[in-house]
Homo-oligomer: A and B are copies of this chain.
Amino acid sequence: MTEPALIEIKGVTHAYQTATGPLPVLDNLNVSVPEGTFTAVVGPSGCGKSTLTKLIAGLLRPDRGEVWLHGERVKSPRKTVGMAFQNPVLLEWRTILDNVILPLEIVAPRMPKKDRIKRAEELLALVGLEGFEDKRPSELSGGMRQRASLCRSLVHKPDVLILDEPFGALDAFTREDLWQTMHELRRQEPFTSLLITHDLRESVYLADEVIVLSGRPATTQFVLDVDLPGERALDVLYQPKAVDYLATLRHQIQIAQGRATQEEAAQ
């Protein structure tokens, strides 16, 4: 038997209780992310991706099935997780710098103030927000807020990084810059990551494995192993292998949305 994966999702089923009855969202889902790897999850809008992130982070308890992190069953949130939410909520009463520092105040309360600031400033510079440290969130543009939120998820060097569409509000180039930043960071301070995205190129460029979820209620519909070099340059996406991957994923998503069948995909 192989060593258990760092993130292990076993037969998870979940439904939201709504006024009109339960809304099943995840149906017997299985995902495992080995230590040090980067897994991307794609799937149609509203299929249950964000729900999945909340289950892993321990913010929700699954109706059925189990979530394991580091070989322990997840029953409540833990300090070693970094999370960037789809909707980047920044605290309006704190400056951008203080927003980024927030997790350190919880996770590493004894870290000297100077070190905290240094760490946060480094990250902010990495995402192109130098000079905005002392601004209020409302003084930032949508994309800038998203970048600040990304820094917040990274600041305490989490073992497990959960990113829910972290680059959704960014233009292509800023986004590609950040892809490279992510690769760079991963090299410097290794982490295991689960990335939700709707950009297929992003998933292929960043991940070691791409999971395609079916429509709601979501199950694993397809898993793609991305066999590209660990250190990737941007033009890796123009390699035939990558182009192939992209075509496969496009088709899988079409299936997930019920526009094509598995048979067509096989053709």
List chain A positions with a Cβ less than 8 A from chain B: 16, 18-20, 23, 42-46, 48-50, 86-87, 128, 134-135, 139-144, 147, 164-165, 168-175, 198-200, 250, 253-254, 257, 259
Contact = CB atoms under 8 A, between A and B. Distances in A.
Contacts of A259: 173
A142 B44 contact: no
A253 to B, nearest CB: 6
Contact of A18 (B135, B172, B198): B135
Nearest to A170: B45
Contacts of A165: 142, 169
Contact of A140 (B46, B199, B253): B46
Contact of A173 (B19, B44, B172): B44
A171 B198 contact: yes
Given A134-B19, A135-B18, A142-B50, A200 B173 contact: no
A4 B250 CA distance: 43
Contacts of A144: 45-46
A173 B253 contact: yes
Contacts of A141: 45-46, 48-50
Contact of A171 (B43, B86, B87, B139): B43
A16 B140 CA distance: 11
B173 A254 contact: yes
Given A45-B144, A46-B140, A134-B20, A169 B171 contact: no
Of A20, A172, A200, the most chain B CB neighbours within 10 A belong to: A172
A139 B172 contact: no
Given A45-B174, A168-B168, A170-B198, A139 B16 contact: yes
Contacts of A254: 173
Contacts of A200: 172
23 contacts: A16-B139, A18-B135, A19-B134, A23-B139, A42-B171, A43-B171, A44-B174, A45-B141, A45-B143, A45-B169, A45-B170, A45-B174, A46-B141, A49-B141, A142-B164, A168-B168, A168-B169, A171-B198, A171-B253, A172-B250, A173-B253, A173-B254, A174-B257
Nearest to A18: B139
A171 B140 contact: no
Of all A-B residue pairs in the complex, the 9 with the closest CB atoms, nearest first, are A45-B143, A171-B198, A46-B141, A86-B142, A45-B174, A46-B144, A168-B168, A168-B169, A45-B170
